[in-house]
Amino acid sequence: MTTGHRGSVRRRTLVLLILLAILYVLVAGRLVYVQVAKRAEFQDWGARIRFRKSTLHALRGCIYDRDKRVLAVSIEAATVYAHRDELTDIPKTARQVAEMMHADPRVIEGKLHGTHATIWLAKRVDPRIGREIRLGYKTIIRRKVGKVYKNVEKREEMPGIGVLYDTKRVYPSGSTASQILGFLNGENVGAEGLELVENYELKGIDGKMTTEVDAQRREIAETCHTEEQPINGKDIVLTIDTTVQQIAEDALGKMAQTYHPESACAVVLDAKTGEILALANYPSFDPNSSARNKPGLWRNRAVADLYEPGSTLKVVTVGAALNEGVSPRKIVACCAGREKIPGGRITCTVHRPFVGGHGAVDMYKIIQYSCNIGAAHLALGLGSEKLYDYEKAFGLMDRINAGFGCEAVGSALPPKDWRVIHLMNIGFGQGINVTPLQMAAAYATIAAGGVYREPKVVREVWNPDGSIARRFKAAKPRRVISREAAAELTRMLVNCAENGTGKPARIEGRTVAGKTGSAQVFSGTGVVSGAFIASFMGFVPASKPRLVIAVVARQPQGSHWGATVAAPVFKEIGERSLWYLKVPSDAPAKPKSIPKPVGNRKGLA
């Protein structure tokens, strides 16, 4: 080998050694960078690949009625999904999954052809379906076992199909109290009703779990490690009585079959405590399938919708006058059927024998025959400031914090802006807007001897262990009118039910105190032609009040009178509820007519 060739080999060898040294330094430097400088970051990255963190969902609390009957409960459910990249034979997988889920294969296949990495095939289905899917597709084959053939079950894996376990909200009573309860959205969060208002108490706190996964990102069951246990949600106990609620909803439904109102509601209060025993709305909906219903059905009209109460408000005007010392038998006006006043005209709806008006009227006649002119003159005597103060004291000008979260605020012009026409109209229930619940609370004030108690729908909140976390207490009661004024007003309402416009509300064996109402519907442009609101409100038994019932029907067809549309609903709710609550009768039943003897009277004892 020549000297020149040896020199060339040495140079190439040296260059190679230098390159190898540089490469070694680079690799060593990279190792130092990975193992030292970026150690924590790469450890975290490796943990994310090796481990999967998942949520342990807390069990949502239940909602109960006052007798601990379940109104809303969460049960186990399964959610079926697919990993798009792991699917091998989409048509075959679609057929298998559809068969196990009892679904349309074309729908499932359409979803599997989606572009998302994770495809949700079905949410919150029967957990038994989820368990079947986890075991794999089942086929039955005939196999020879010994000398005989037997049917043998075979399970086939479905690559890319997975199952998660979650909870599903169920409302066992269906549409009963649906506007009170509300429902959950797709993320298991309260969307309407008490599910929304009490969502913080009901939802609980989710826990966390870490699981090691294999190379195909499948969980290794033996490696599950719980980091934080879930804290289940609290239970809510309502003042609602499910039986009374169903009675009220049934009565509204029967009325709707005859008069077909746009909407209707009924409120039943405990006359002793002011608690809400029932709050029914028509039409209703099934919260188990809320997405299939129009959003308008979700509205709790009894607390969210304002309306002009009409003649049912006359009790506030009369109660205020009584409390101010006006004699109940004092003639306050002479009703001729209509009367011209500054700024307009007042008319009375009169029936036989009052064709030419109600004549000389006192407070008893105002309530008994629903005289607008008499109530208007009482309001005029009280004055705008004083009448407004009484309406506010009766709870008509403030928001009732009953616990629904959607309570509307009663409204009227400020009293300083009331002209004579406004003052007199408000005296008989026009020019003021209230909710049915507010009116029910006003009548409950009369039933309670003149003391106002704010209605409540939530009674208690329970911890998951059954202990009481919180008791809801109503606001401090306040006296609105004297006991004597309330007693006199009660006698007027009893007279109205027995001898006046409220006769259809009479209940055999009970003394009923109540008042009819009929008011026109107003929109932003004025009176809606042919649209009325029919109502009846009162309490029973009048001698010792147990139930306060308010019924309001918006735009009934065929009749718009409170006596024909709403009073029979009051009667049915009162009659059935009092029987259910075992409230004793307070009035003797009317004796049945005795047939006259036929033939010769001689010889009869």
How far is C-alpha 553 from the geometric centre of its chain's CA atoms?
19
CATH of the domain at 527: 3.40.710.10
pLDDT above 50 for 216: yes
Which among 236, 287, 182, 232 has a CA at the least distance from the CA of 60? 232
Across all residues in the chain, what is the average pLDDT?
87
Calculate mean pLDDT across residues 24-41.
80
Helix axes 314-323, 384-393, angle to 10 degrees: 110
pLDDT above 50 for 342: yes
Amino acid (1-letter code) at residue 311: S
Q: Is residue 588 part of a domain?
A: no
H runs (alpha helix) in 88-172: 90-101, 105-112, 127-135
pLDDT above 50 for 602: no
Instruction: Based on the fold, state whether residues 223 and 343 are members of the same structural domain.
Output: no
- CA pair distance 439, 435, nearest whole angstrom: 7
CATH of the domain at 72: 3.90.1310.10
Q: Is residue 562 part of a domain?
A: yes
More confident call, 565 vs 124:
565
Q: Is residue 21 part of a domain?
A: no
Residues 190-200: pLDDT tens digits?
999 999 999 99
Q: Is residue 144 part of a domain?
A: no
Q: Is residue 2 part of a domain?
A: no
Output the pLDDT for position 305. 93
Residues 493-503: pLDDT tens digits?
999 999 999 99
Which among 565, 428, 583 has a CA at the least distance from the CA of 512? 583
pLDDT above 60 for 393: yes
- pTM equals 0.83
Instruction: Based on the fold, state whether residues 523 and 402 are members of the same structural domain.
Output: yes
pLDDT-based confidence at 484, cuts 50/70/90?
Answer: very high
Output the pLDDT for position 593. 47
pLDDT-based confidence at 605, cuts 50/70/90?
Answer: very low
- CA pair distance 253, 553, nearest whole angstrom: 11
Calculate mean pLDDT across residues 275-297.
91
Instruction: Based on the fold, state whether residues 224 and 270 are members of the same structural domain.
Output: no
Output the pLDDT for position 544. 94
Distances in whole angstroms, Cα of residue 68 to Cα of each of 50, 72, 168, 464, 559: 47, 11, 20, 15, 40
pLDDT above 50 for 601: no
Tokens of 355: 């064709």
Residues 425-449: pLDDT tens digits?
999 999 899 999 999 999 999 999 9
Calculate mean pLDDT across residues 577-600.
69
Q: Is residue 590 part of a domain?
A: no
The lowest-confidence range among 121-130, 479-488, 506-515 is: 121-130
Residues 525-565: pLDDT tens digits?
667 778 899 999 999 999 999 999 999 999 999 998 999 99
pLDDT above 70 for 149: no
Output the pLDDT for position 76. 83
Domains: count for the chain: 2
For 448, half-sphere exposure in the C-beta direction (CA atoms, 13 angstrom radius) is: 26
Q: Is residue 45 part of a domain?
A: no
Q: Is residue 449 part of a domain?
A: yes
Instruction: Based on the fold, state whether residues 201 and 268 are members of the same structural domain.
Output: no
The conformational region for residue 395 under phi > 0 = left, psi -120 to 50 = alpha, else beta, is left
Output the pLDDT for position 206. 85
Calculate mean pLDDT across residues 256-269.
96
Output the pLDDT for position 603. 34
Output the pLDDT for position 55. 76
More confident call, 132 vs 332:
332
Instruction: Based on the fold, state whether residues 217 and 311 are members of the same structural domain.
Output: no
Which among 489, 204, 436 has a CA at the least distance from the CA of 322? 489
- For 560-593, give the DSSP string: --HHHHTHHHHHHHHHHHHHHTTPPP-SPPPPPP
Output the pLDDT for position 566. 96
Instruction: Based on the fold, state whether residues 337 and 210 are members of the same structural domain.
Output: no
What is the DSSP-derived secondary structure letter of residue 328? T
pLDDT above 70 for 289: yes
Instruction: Based on the fold, state whether residues 567 and 485 are members of the same structural domain.
Output: yes
Q: Write out the residue range of the structural domain in which residue 337 sits.
A: 242-284+300-462+469-580
The lowest-confidence range among 157-161, 258-262, 452-456 is: 157-161
pLDDT above 70 for 224: no
- Lookup result for tokens 């005859």: 258
Output the pLDDT for position 599. 43
Calculate mean pLDDT across residues 22-28.
85
